């Protein structure tokens, strides 16, 4: 359970940085509290997408992973962010990614920030 909370906080922080840095990724709400709740709900959706869909996509794209020396991972991360945006829209969450290029750059930002947050936040092994 503690690991789940840490991953959700790391995802929320990474998404917040991407929203802050990129105009193509937006989060809206009436007030700050609503934005924070929406951010954590989007982080949960993003975590679910990465847990359920991403391993299947990575397995199916393994030949492309070898062919591109791993660069296809950037595209997969962008697609997972676009899928999160689509699901957020279906769930009436005020989160939107405005196309492939913001998703690609956002995927890189989210990966770097999430990695840094996992280094900072404690996990179950501590």
Task: Give the pLDDT confidence of 72-85 residue by residue, as tens digits.
Answer: 999 999 999 999 99
Per-residue model confidence (pLDDT) at position 7:
85
In the chain, % of residues over pLDDT 90: 66
pTM score of the predicted model: 0.87
Looking at residues 50-77, what average pLDDT do you find?
Answer: 91
Q: Is the pLDDT reported for residue 43 higher than 60?
A: yes
Q: Is the pLDDT reported for residue 126 higher than 60?
A: no
| CB burial of residue 66 (10 Å; 0-12, 13-18, 19+) | exposed
| CB burial of residue 22 (10 Å; 0-12, 13-18, 19+) | middle
- Return the beta strands (E) in the chain as ranges: 25-27, 95-97
Per-residue model confidence (pLDDT) at position 1:
63
């Amino acid at each position: 359970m503690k690991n789940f909370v840490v991953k959700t906080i790391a995802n929320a922080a990474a998404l917040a940085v991407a929203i802050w840095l990129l105009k193509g990724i937006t989060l809206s709400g009436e007030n700050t509290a609503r934005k924070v709740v929406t951010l954590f709900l989007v982080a949960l959706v993003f975590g679910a997408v990465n847990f359920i869909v991403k391993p299947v996509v990575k397995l199916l794209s393994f030949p492309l992973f070898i062919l591109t020396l791993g660069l296809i991972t950037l595209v997969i991360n962008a697609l997972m962010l676009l899928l999160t945006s689509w699901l957020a829209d279906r769930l009436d969450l005020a989160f939107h990614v405005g196309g492939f290029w913001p998703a690609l750059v956002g995927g890189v930002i989210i990966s770097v920030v999430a990695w840094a947050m996992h280094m900072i936040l404690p996990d179950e092994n501590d």
